[in-house]
Each structure stands twice: as C-alpha cells, then as structure tokens.
Amino acid sequence: MFTIPFFVLLTFVILFVLMFGGRIHSGYLKKKGMVNTYAIQNIKTGKDIRVHNAGIEDERRITLYTHHNWECITWQFIEVEDNTFLLKNLYSQKSFQPSKAPQEGVTLWQQPLGGSLQFWEFIKQSDEAYLIRLKGTELYVTISAEENHSDIILMPLKNLTDQQWKLIPQQPIA
C-alpha cells in the first residue's frame, strides 16, 4: 500500500490554501452578506422552484424540487417596482421566463438576466402565501405535477394551492 509522506501532504495543503484560500473566503463572505434571498416553495407540495438539475445553461427547464438550503434553489429578489421583482438564481446567476410567448400552459426556462419577460409580481394572500404573476399578463406561476422535476408552467388564476407560494429565507454558503 502506498502512503503519502506527511510533509508532502502538508506542502500540498499549504499550497492549496495559498492559491485558493482568499478566493474561497471572499466567496463565503459575499454569499453570507447577500440579502433578499429565498427559496420559493409551493404551498401544496412543500417543494421549491429550481433550475432543472442545477444546470447553468440557457434554456434549462424550471422545475419543482425537494426543499434544500442550496444555491440552485435560492433566488435573489431584485425589486424593480412595488411588489415586482427580477429573480436571480444564486447558482447560475440567471433568471427565468416563459419558453415562448406567454399563454396558458407555457413552461418556464432559464435565461440570462435582462429579458422583458422576467418581471414577476408577488401578490400577497393570507398566511404568508403569494401568487406569482408574470407582469403585464393574467398568467400565474403554477406547478404541473407534484413530483420532483415537474415543469413549472403559467396558467390563468384558478385559486388552487398549485399556484400559491411561500418564501423561505435562505443564505446557502456552499
């Protein structure tokens, strides 16, 4: 069995810390200081809005996933006007919008920040629940099914828990 001498291992650790320690510490402080970061959790399922498989590519589906304190499930809320937000995913640094012209049943997908269809109105309901409406439309963020990886879609208002969301404060560090 091969063993690494202690001084070689120690040298490797010291070099790693010297090379990457500042960057890791800086990233940690940046994430720890972020404000207005939340998981967006469906009332019916207790599952969150997430970029499918935590992908960073454009046009990646937006889906439902089990709650975790992960960057890929955490959205920074950037207020553009009263109760209207641009949502930036902490992991991919992108937002989401309809995959085609907004209409009933259209799926959502990930896109770089700045699209005209990325503004979401949060309409307060009772018990800390919100409806999330695409600005300028009568279409609401809705689950398509209750399973992980189910698409998030846009639908007219149906007054169901499929369309009700709560905000879970999050500050994922890793």
Please answer whether residues 172 and 75 qualify as being in contact, where contact means their C-beta atoms are separated by less than 8 angstroms.
no
Token pair recorded at residue 32: 């720890």
Handedness of CA 102, 109, 51, 27 (dihedral sign): negative
Q: For the segment 6-44, what is each residue's pLDDT rounded down to a tens digit?
A: 666 567 656 655 666 555 444 544 555 568 999 999 999
49 strand-pairing partners: 64
pLDDT of residue 26: 46
Checking if the pLDDT of 75 tops 60, the result is yes
Average pLDDT of the chain, as a whole number: 89
CATH number of 36-169: 2.80.10.50
Q: According to the model, what pLDDT value does residue 31 have?
A: 52
pTM of the model: 0.81
How far apart, in whole angstroms, are the C-alpha atoms of residue 120 and residue 128? 17
- Taking the C-alpha atoms of residue 19 and residue 94, their distance in angstroms, rounded to an integer, is 28
Does the pLDDT at position 150 exceed 60?
yes
Show me where the domains of the chain are located.
1-33, 36-169
| Phi then psi dihedrals of residue 141, to 5 deg | -65, 125
- Pairwise CA distance, residues 79 & 155, whole Å: 23
Neighbours of 115 (CB within 10 A): 14
CA 118 from chain center: how many Å? 13
- Judge whether residue 155 has pLDDT over 70: yes
Question: What pLDDT sits at residue 25?
Answer: 43
Cα separation, 86 vs 79, in Å, equals 6
Give the per-residue pLDDT at 127. Answer: 81
Task: Provide the pLDDT confidence category of residue 115 given band limits of 50, 70 and 90.
Answer: confident
CA distances from residue 125 to 35, 56, 138 in whole angstroms, order as listed = 23, 32, 16
Confidence of residue 69 (pLDDT cuts 50, 70, 90): very high
What percentage of the chain exceeds 90 in pLDDT? 74
**pLDDT band at 126, cuts 50/70/90?**
confident
Closest C-alpha to 142, from 49, 39, 50 = 49
